[in-house]
């Protein structure tokens, strides 16, 4: 599913108006009604609602919402940020409609006109929508600060005012919404962890934009969806054998960190690998062969690495001298793709020129700090994402930039994952992902296929583990994710 820019969404509105056909004011009415219906689910008829509007179309949405709530008997007052200029056509049309049914219309020309906000009030933020392209200043910024200081429930229309839909909003003054009611599709800005404090719960409302629309420019960002995965996923055929699904080498573990190697190996085997050989220190033999009897074990890479479809490296490896030597040897000898995680990434980051030795079609899985160690500091999350997109094209790698909505960057485009939960925020979850990706790379041979399937299944298994009502986010363990992988495969098959 494409994540469209604000300009592309504006094109979509215009396309719908031209082809439905529907007038812009009637489309605004539909959008407002979708918001109104959602707001009434969370508010009682005795609620006091205060609607804040600027004079663009987002403000027009707010005026229509106010009118619809008044028609349902709610106590609603409307506050319009007064800049002197005339509003958009649809704003002005909705203002005239509203004038006929309420006197609770106030124009804010200075900070002294801000209304008192009580703890029980509910604010509807319809100041600035997805078209905003510069930080709020002066009276607008003061009004947003006034709303935030009141600590009231806030419903933001489309996006919280002050937030950019593309790029970083870091440093902006932004409405801190309790609920964000966005139109038709998810937005790029909702994928960023740095925006989470402002968005609250995000609800995507269908306002009937025409499905046949195609933007004039291709989207850079997408969401991973089940239909995408169904186009990739290959069910097993009847005459398959272990050689049909690849043989991978997993280099992992060190003294005191064999648990990471065990988790990665178990996840790899649960993700359909035909054969798995683990490259681990000798002191880990008994642990591995007891915990994961299905995995073979070697202690050196004396045998040619060409025997393997792919190489997974990093979980629990450590950064000591022996680990550095091992990563060096693997980079020297490997021509096949590598799945590189954790300590292996940290080792590479400390050695100039080693990045250039990573084979094409490899998958790198850094979290933000590891990414910055590899590629330099980034001033915000959006810049980091842009860099990952650029590097994926420059080096022909897949970069999985891990987070709540992990990004899969490949050939200049990015896919955000939508599965997973905060229960995964514990040591070992990344090791599980490495194992999954190693197995899928050995089977599918295409790194972006492996990455898209892998990150989605990883998060989905964690979500399904919570469905049992046995685990909570607090109690979820990486091994629980592994145990739910079978259910995750069933869910997309």
How many Cα atoms are found within 13 Å in the side-chain-facing hemisphere of 80? Answer: 25
Q: Are residues 250 and 271 in the same domain?
A: yes
pLDDT at 390 over 80: yes
Q: Are residues 188 and 75 in the same domain?
A: yes
Cβ proximity of 341 and 314 under 8 Å? yes
Task: Round to whole Å and give the CA distance between 239 and 219.
Answer: 40
Q: Are residues 358 and 473 in the same domain?
A: yes
Per DSSP, 236 falls in state P
> Which of the four pLDDT bands, split at 50, 70 and 90, describes residue 468?
confident
Q: Last residue of a domain, which of 184, 202, 218?
A: 218
Helices (H), 317-420: 321-333, 342-349, 368-375, 381-395
pLDDT at 267 over 90: yes
H/E run at residue 79 = strand 75-81
Q: Are residues 298 and 184 in the same domain?
A: no
The pLDDT value recorded for residue 422 is 97
Could you tell me how many residues make up the chain? Answer: 493
Question: Which residue in 436, 409, 440, 412 sits closest to 424, CA to CA?
Answer: 436
Segment 330-383, tens digit of pLDDT: 999 889 999 999 999 999 999 999 999 999 999 999 999 999 999 999 999 999
Segment 288-333, tens digit of pLDDT: 999 999 999 998 886 668 889 999 999 999 999 999 999 999 999 8
The pLDDT value recorded for residue 303 is 62
CA distances to 282, 429, 484 from 59, in Å: 67, 44, 46
Give the residue, 263 or 214, on which the prediction is more confident.
263
CA distances to 72, 182, 214 from 44, in Å: 11, 22, 40
Q: Are residues 99 and 157 in the same domain?
A: yes
First-to-last alpha carbon distance for the chain, in angstroms, is 19
The pLDDT value recorded for residue 131 is 83
> Which of the four pLDDT bands, split at 50, 70 and 90, describes residue 84?
confident
Q: Which domain holds residue 484?
A: 226-492
The pLDDT value recorded for residue 434 is 98
Rounded to 10 degrees, what is the CA torsion of 238, 240, 241, 246? -150
* Structural domain count of the chain: 2
Segment 39-77, tens digit of pLDDT: 999 999 899 999 999 999 999 999 999 999 999 999 999
Q: Are residues 236 and 191 in the same domain?
A: no
Q: Are residues 365 and 443 in the same domain?
A: yes
State the burial class of residue 25 (Cβ atoms within 10 Å of its Cβ: 0-12, 13-18, 19+): middle
Q: Are residues 51 and 183 in the same domain?
A: yes
Q: Last residue of a domain, which of 201, 218, 235?
A: 218
Q: Last residue of a domain, which of 218, 237, 270?
A: 218
The pLDDT value recorded for residue 83 is 82
Q: Are residues 213 and 233 in the same domain?
A: no
- Whole-number mean pLDDT of the chain? 96
Q: State yes or no: cis peptide before 190, omega within 30 of 0.
A: no
The pLDDT value recorded for residue 333 is 84
Residues tagged in the binding site annotation for K(+): 58, 125, 161
Residues tagged in the binding site annotation: 57-61, 125, 129-135, 158, 161, 260, 316, 367, 402-406, 430-431
Residues tagged in the binding site annotation for AMP: 402-406, 430
Instruction: Record the pTM.
Output: 0.95
Q: For position 171, which CATH number holds?
A: 3.40.50.10260
The pLDDT value recorded for residue 334 is 87
Q: Are residues 247 and 343 in the same domain?
A: yes
Residue 105, strand partner residues: 78
Task: Round to whole Å and give the CA distance between 152 and 124.
Answer: 10
Q: Are residues 211 and 342 in the same domain?
A: no
Segment 92-147, tens digit of pLDDT: 999 999 998 999 999 999 999 999 999 999 999 999 999 898 999 999 999 999 99
Residues tagged in the binding site annotation for (6S)-NADPHX: 57-61, 129-135, 158, 260, 316, 367, 431
Q: Are residues 43 and 132 in the same domain?
A: yes
Q: For position 305, which CATH number holds?
A: 3.40.1190.20
Cβ proximity of 156 and 125 under 8 Å? yes
Cβ proximity of 108 and 139 under 8 Å? yes
């Amino acid at each position: 599913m494409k994540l469209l820019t604000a300009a592309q969404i504006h094109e979509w509105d215009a396309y719908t108006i031209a082809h439905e056909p529907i007038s812009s004011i009637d489309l605004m009415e539909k959008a407002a009604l979708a918001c109104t219906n959602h707001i009434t689910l969370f508010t009682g008829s005795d609620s006091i609602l205060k609607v804040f509007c600027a004079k663009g179309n987002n403000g027009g949405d707010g005026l229509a919402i106010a009118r619809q709530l008044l028609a349902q008997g709610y106590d609603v007052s409307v506050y319009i940020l007064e800049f002197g200029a005339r509003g958009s056509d649809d704003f002005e049309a909705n203002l005239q409609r509203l004038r006929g049914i309420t006197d609770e219309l106030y124009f804010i020309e200075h900070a002294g006109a801000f209304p008192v906000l009580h703890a029980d009030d509910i604010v509807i933020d319809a100041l600035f929508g997805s078209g905003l392209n510069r930080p709020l200043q002066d009276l607008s910024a003061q009004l947003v600060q006034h709303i935030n200081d009141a600590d009231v429930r806030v419903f933001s229309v489309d996006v919280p005012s002050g937030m950019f839909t593309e790029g970083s909003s870091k440093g902006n003054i932004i409405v801190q919404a309790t609920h964000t009611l966005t139109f038709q599709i998810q937005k790029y800005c909702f994928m960023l962890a740095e925006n989470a404090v402002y968005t609250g719960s995000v609800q995507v409302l269908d306002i009937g934009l025409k499905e046949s629309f195609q933007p004039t420019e291709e989207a850079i960002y997408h969401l991973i969806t089940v239909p995408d995965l169904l186009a990739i996923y290959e069910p097993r055929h009847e005459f398959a054998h272990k050689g049909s699904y690849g043989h991978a080498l997993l280099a992992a573990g060190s003294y005191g960190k064999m648990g990471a190697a065990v988790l990665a190996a178990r996840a790899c085997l649960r993700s359909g690998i035909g054969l798995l050989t683990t490259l681990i220190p000798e002191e880990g033999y008994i642990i591995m062969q007891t915990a994961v009897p299905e995995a073979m074990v070697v202690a050196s890479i004396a045998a040619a690495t060409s025997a393997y479809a792919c190489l997974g490296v990093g979980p629990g490896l450590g950064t000591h001298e022996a680990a550095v030597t091992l990563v060096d040897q693997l980079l020297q000898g490997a021509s096949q793709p590598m799945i590189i995680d954790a300590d292996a990434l940290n080792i590479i980051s400390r050695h100039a020129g080693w990045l250039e030795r990573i084979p094409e079609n490899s998958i790198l899985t850094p979290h933000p700090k590891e990414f910055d160690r590899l590629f330099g500091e980034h001033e915000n999350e959006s810049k980091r994402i842009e860099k990952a997109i650029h590097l994926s094209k420059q080096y022909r790698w897949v970069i999985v930039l891990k987070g709540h909505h992990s990004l899969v960057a490949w050939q200049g485009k990015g896919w955000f994952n939508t599965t997973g939960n905060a229960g995964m925020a514990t040591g070992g979850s990344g090791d599980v992902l490495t194992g999954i990706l190693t197995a899928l790379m050995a089977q599918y041979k295409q790194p972006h296929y492996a990455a898209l399937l892998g990150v989605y299944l990883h998060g989905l298994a964690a979500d399904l583990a919570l469905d049992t009502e046995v685990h909570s986010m607090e109690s979820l363990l990486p091994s629980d994710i592994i145990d739910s992988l079978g259910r995750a495969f069933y869910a997309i098959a």
